[in-house]
Structure 1
Amino acid sequence: MTHDDVTGVILAGGQGRRMGGRDKGLEPFGSARLIEYAKRSLDGRVAEVLINANRHLDDYRALGCRVISDRESGYQGPLMGIWSGLEAAQTPWVVIVPCDSPALPDDLVARLIAAIGEADIAVAHDGERDHPVVALIRRDLTADLGEALKEGERKIDRWYARHVWTRADFSDCPAAFANLNTEDDKARLAQQLRAGDA
Structure 2
Amino acid sequence: MKQPLGVILAGGKATRMGGGDKGRLSLGGKTILQHVIGRLEPQVAGLAINANGDPARFEDIDMPVIPDSLTGFPGPLAGVLAGLDWAAEQGADAIVTAAADTPFFPCDLVPQLLLAAEGGPHPLALAASGEPGGKLWRQPTFGLWPVALRSDLRAALENGLRKVVIWTDKHDAGQASFVQSGIDPFFNVNTPEDLTEARRIAGEIE
Structures share a fold, TM > 0.5?
Answer: yes
Matched, 1:180 2:189: yes
Gap regions ≥5 residues in structure 2: 131-135
Secondary structure of 2:190 counterpart:
coil
Aligned amino acid, residue 125 of structure 1: A
**Equivalent residues in 2 for 1:18-167 (5 A)?**
18-89=16-87, 90=90, 91-119=92-120, 120=122, 121-127=124-130, 128-167=136-175
Which shows bigger deviation, 50-59 or 87-96?
50-59
Secondary structure of 2:139 counterpart:
strand
Tell me how far apart the structure 2 counterparts of residues 41 and 152 of structure 1 sit (CA, whole Å). 33
* Residue number in structure 1 paired with 2:202: 193
1:50-96 CA-to-partner distances (Å, cap 9, x unmatched) read 10011341232321111101112222211111111111113101101
* Offset at residue 172 of structure 1 (A): 4.0
Tell me how far apart the structure 1 counterparts of residues 176 and 13 of structure 2 sit (CA, whole Å). 28
Which shows bigger deviation, 16-25 or 171-180?
171-180
Which shows bigger deviation, 10-19 or 43-52?
43-52
* Residue number in structure 1 paired with 2:133: none
Tell me how far apart the structure 2 counterparts of residues 166 and 153 of structure 1 sit (CA, whole Å). 20
Matched, 1:11 2:9: yes
CA contact (8 A) 2:27 2:202 kept: no
> Could you state the TM-score of these two structures normalised by the residue count of structure 1?
0.91
In angstroms, what is the RMSD of aligned CA positions?
Answer: 1.8
Aligned-residue sequence identity (percent) comes to: 34
Q: 1:175 to 1:193 in 2, by over 3 A?
A: farther
Tell me how far apart the structure 1 counterparts of residues 3 and 163 of structure 2 sit (CA, whole Å). 27
Matched, 1:169 2:177: yes
1:152-189 CA-to-partner distances (Å, cap 9, x unmatched) read 11111111121011110111456210011001011112
Which shows bigger deviation, 95-104 or 25-34?
25-34
CA contact (8 A) 2:6 2:46 kept: yes
Aligned amino acid, residue 4 of structure 2: V
CA contact (8 A) 1:41 1:108 kept: no
Secondary structure of 1:44 counterpart:
helix
> How many equivalent residue pairs?
194
Aligned amino acid, residue 184 of structure 1: E
